[in-house]
Structure 1
């Protein structure tokens, strides 16, 4: 008899941006705190100034050559990482003017662009993209900036990333494409947008689950109808041999 565990979310998944999202007491999903202790004695003064948006202090430290513009903290973050995390676009512009490196990684392999997108700092992300920020760099879990963007609510940010050649079909370590992540997040607006611009409706994760299987496995919703309007291959099977129709049957849903 086929195992039914396929229908439930596996304990080790996903290595996705959704793991960086918190839940407030009311049950509403919120973006996690950036996690930077600004009183940390190991944090350089330039990093602190960038993180709190103190433009004049940043200018002073750079003009006096007290710190290199690309100096790292103990988590291997540059001042640009912190300015993007906290959304200070004026500091971002200044650091770029001072020839900081844009496509750099911290200890989690996150680029400044990934941090800006992760915390929905669209103005910072726009500056980085216009100045050569690479939208296809990946973090330790294989997520690109686009993976983070589809977990948010800004379709305009997703569009900007795609306009700068973000890979629409990039897969993270769990095999999730941006579309599969949007389905996992039950983000109907984002799913509809991604489908309209040509995202592969039959893409599958590392467990060979398609978006339709994921939608049915979580709980039948409007996403199922949305996906069925596309050219969905109902013959696809997951790693345990289940088809989408079997997912539907298990959940009492008729396709």
Structure 2
């Protein structure tokens, strides 16, 4: 269905009344094939701030490594921060996803270990709680 709608001209970056985008919803649900298709059709990884979180943060919290990799390959910002909830690394720590944390730290992209979020402190604070 998603493929057909995109072929007919649906905008992969359109936001609903809650500022959710199709990539965010697909990332939240762990739908890798849909995320991949949306990215191929021009979806921008950092558009939308559903509950102050972008697609990469949602994929990290859900533990969807294949989606995280796809988003980073398409230019998602590893250190993007929502005001209260922190970076993708914060979200991976909060979700308890060691594989995502290891990947983000091994990427060599400069994941900031000491970036502080208003609500949660640093990624280390989240990992300890």
**TM-score under structure 1 length normalisation:** 0.47
Residue 4 of structure 2 is matched in structure 1 by 94
| Residue of structure 1 aligned with 2:122, choices 200, 210, 227 | 210
Residue 113 of structure 2 is matched in structure 1 by 201
Any unmatched runs of 5+ in structure 2?
Answer: none
**TM-score under structure 2 length normalisation:** 0.90
1:97–1:155 CA distance, 2 compared to 1 (3 A): same
Residue 84 of structure 2 is matched in structure 1 by 174
Please list the CA deviations of residues 114-154 of structure 1 after superposition, one character each: whole Å capped at 9, or x if unmatched: 11111111111101101110110122422110011001232
Matched, 1:126 2:36: yes
CA distance, structure 1, for counterparts of residue 48 and residue 64 of structure 2? 20
Following superposition of structure 1 onto structure 2, how do residues 152-167 of structure 1 map, counting pairs within 5 Å? 152-167=62-77
Any unmatched runs of 5+ in structure 1?
Answer: 1-90, 219-255
CA distance, structure 2, for counterparts of residue 207 and residue 119 of structure 1? 24
1:117–1:165 CA distance, 2 compared to 1 (3 A): same
SS at match of 2:114: coil
1:95–1:211 CA distance, 2 compared to 1 (3 A): same
CA distance, structure 1, for counterparts of residue 18 and residue 103 of structure 2? 29
User: More deviation in 198-207 or 141-150?
Assistant: 198-207
Which is helix-richer, 1 or 2? 2
Please list the CA deviations of residues 193-244 of structure 1 after superposition, one character each: whole Å capped at 9, or x if unmatched: 111113111111115722223323x1xxxxxxxxxxxxxxxxxxxxxxxxxx
Say whether the 8 Å CA contact 2:113–2:123 is kept in structure 1.
Answer: yes
> What is the root-mean-square deviation in Å for CA atoms of aligned residues?
1.5
Structure with the larger RCO, 1 or 2 (CA within 8 Å, 6+ apart)? 2
CA distance, structure 2, for counterparts of residue 135 and residue 110 of structure 1? 12
Aligned length: 127
User: More deviation in 109-118 or 180-189?
Assistant: 180-189
- Tell me the CA shift for residue 173 of structure 1: 3.0
State the 4+ residue runs in structure 1 displaced beyond 3 angstroms.
Answer: none
